[in-house]
Amino acid sequence: MRPRPALDRRLDGALTYRLTSLVATTGYGKSTALAGWSQAVGAVLHRLGPADRDLPTLAGAVASALSERVAGLPADLVTAADAPLGPDADELSRAAALAGALAEALARRLRRGLALVFDGIDAIAGAPGSVRYVETLVRVAPRHLHLVTASRAPLPFPTARLRQDHEVLDLDATDLALTPDETAAWARDRLGEQGAAVAATLHDACGGWPAAVQAALDALAREDPSGWPRTAAGLAANSATLERLTLAAFKDLPPAMRELLRAATVLPVLTAGLAATLGAPPDTLDSLTSRGLFLEAGQDGHRLTLTSRHVLAKHAPLDRHEAHDVAAVASRWYVEHDQPELALRAAVATEHPGLAAALLDSYGLRLAERGDVVAALELLPEAARNAPTMIKLAGVAEQNRGHWTRARDLLAQAAEGPAFDAFVARRLGLIDHLRGDLDAALAAYARGYEYGLPPADAAMCAASMASVLWLKGDRAGCAELADKALEQASSLGDPSALAMANTVLAMLAALDGDRRANDAHYLRALDYAERAGDIVQLIRIHANRASRHLDEGAYAEALAETEIGGRLSDLVSFAPYAALNVSNRAK
């Protein structure tokens, strides 16, 4: 048994509480941890088994174990447990009486702290007498007696009053899970120094689950070290031991929890609200999370661990109708909470064409900017996929994915039909603009500007036309369109359009040698781009400012701009402006 001092320190907290409840699923090392800790602190450890469902057996064993540690406990505490029941005897009353008598005797004779550990409360679930015995002992225990329970599920008796009085310490799988450092230590111990190199991957794959880590290390020890990184990376899908342990833990869960986990296999994220909408009882999500293994918490909700997702999809999959029902219910919840992107992911995961089509119709452009539209479109029948609005969405999605050749073909197709607008024109023009086909870009921008809708895109088409004319050396035409772009953008108050218009005006000021106007427009452009959250424009503006500093020989200032531009470029993959930033830094 490997030492775990950090976990032992957490368990030491049990010596200051009346009750400590340790809940975690199979394989988290509850018994191992409690055995080592009990020995270290001199606790009385009783591992519950099927025999303890019989009240006399349980009460007699506990009294006997305590008699060996507490001098002067009456011998009849042990014999009383075996006494026969009378004809009118009530088992629950007898359980309370036995526990009460033991607590009273301990109150008189126990002079220092002592922990009594019940490992495996699950073994007596459904045995009323034994459950009442433990419950009563917890409630009436003298101040020097500290009860510790370990189980795979929450305790089978209420503890709200004790919690209200701050007399309960809760520990769960997150406390038992290995830390990255502990996983590394286990790997080093089992595999040698080479093992530490795969420890981080191993930790992520196993989620800190001790049994999984141990099983994985055993599997790696049988392999050639050259294959360890590959095996560790694919662990969730390849370890039979992990699969067996996960499946066993899943079967231990109540039906409602199992159904929620099955639903989670096709959902991008779970929250308490969504779990309730799917029919899960209150606190189900918290209970599953505290057990570890199945769910991991993130900032936006809970997700299945890699291992559990694989095992459940294989051994407890939803059929097509079940999956579609889950996706439909979850989609409504996501949309109601302004998360149509998650709704679309659920539609894609369950291959639900009707749901995908409805979401694309309602939230098309938003989803094209941020959602998995290409995969969703593949679910639609060919006729629906070739509708003008869907071609437009596909073009936007492909451009956002960086597939600009494909995007240009689709956007050009959309531009020839009823889906054309300034939004399409601006994106089509940008591709030609950055490819250096200035005449084609100018024509696309001009058409979008003349179309006029959506107004913000029309204003950006005007600003983009001005940029092309700047490159062509047409200062007068550039100035005229830049002023129109600023006027339109100002009337709309659209920050992206205002950023683009001020950028072109700054470029014009640079042509005129007006340093103050150049600075003023770039600062305004930066402010508007930041308000819009438009990282691509921010990279462009910082790159332009760096270029100006280079022209002036202000190299420290130029480097400072490239530092910012480089950091922003790491956030998005937009090669043209990123390349300009790198070029400036190289100069």
Note the pLDDT of residue 88: 52
Note the pLDDT of residue 132: 95
pTM surpassing 0.85? no
Q: Could you say which architecture CATH assigns to the domain 5-176? A: 3-Layer(aba) Sandwich (3.40)
Is 137 in contact with 64 (CB distance < 8 Å)? no
DSSP state of 179: P
* Terminal CA-CA length for the chain: 60
Q: From CA 422, how far away is CA 414, in angstroms rounded?
A: 12
Q: From CA 582, how far away is CA 278, in angstroms rounded?
A: 50
Buried b (16+ CB within 10 A) or exposed e, 294-321: bbbeeeebbbbbbbbbbbbeeeeebeee
Q: What digits encode the pLDDT tens for the residues 74-128?
A: 877 776 666 555 445 578 888 888 899 899 999 999 989 999 999 999 999 999 9
> Treating both helix axes as pointing N-terminal to C-terminal, what angle do 255-264 and 306-315 enclose, rounded to 10 degrees?
100
Is 500 in contact with 464 (CB distance < 8 Å)? yes
Q: From CA 485, how far away is CA 465, in angstroms rounded?
A: 10
Give percent above pLDDT 70 in the chain.
94
Location of structure tokens 């006729």: 383
Beta-bridge partner residues of 558: none
Q: Residue 393: exposed, middle, or buried by beta-carbon count in 10 A (0-12, 13-18, 19+)?
A: buried
Location of structure tokens 């936006």: 300
Q: From CA 96, how far away is CA 132, in angstroms rounded?
A: 6
Long-range contacts, 250-259 (Cβ 8 Å, 24+) = 250/294, 250/308, 250/311, 250/312, 250/315, 250/316, 252/25, 252/26, 252/122, 252/152, 252/153, 253/288, 254/153, 256/280, 256/281, 256/284, 257/284, 257/287, 257/288, 258/316
Note the pLDDT of residue 299: 62
> What token pair was written down for 59?
């009460």
Is 107 in contact with 18 (CB distance < 8 Å)? no
> What token pair was written down for 175?
């406390």
Buried b (16+ CB within 10 A) or exposed e, 178-216: beeebbbbbbeebbeeebbbbbebbbbbbbbbbbbbbbb
Report which of 489, 412, 409 is spatially closest to residue 449, judged by C-alpha positions: 489
Note the pLDDT of residue 237: 46
Domain boundaries, the chain: 5-176, 180-238
Note the pLDDT of residue 46: 95
> What token pair was written down for 77?
């505490």
- Which residues of the chain, if any, have pLDDT below 70? 1, 79-89, 236-239, 245, 290-293, 298-299, 370-371, 570-574
Q: Residue 54: exposed, middle, or buried by beta-carbon count in 10 A (0-12, 13-18, 19+)?
A: middle
Q: From CA 419, how far away is CA 472, in angstroms rounded?
A: 30
Note the pLDDT of residue 572: 58
Residues 6+ apart with CB under 8 A from 344: 356, 359, 360, 363, 367, 371, 372, 373, 376
Mean pLDDT for the chain overall? 89
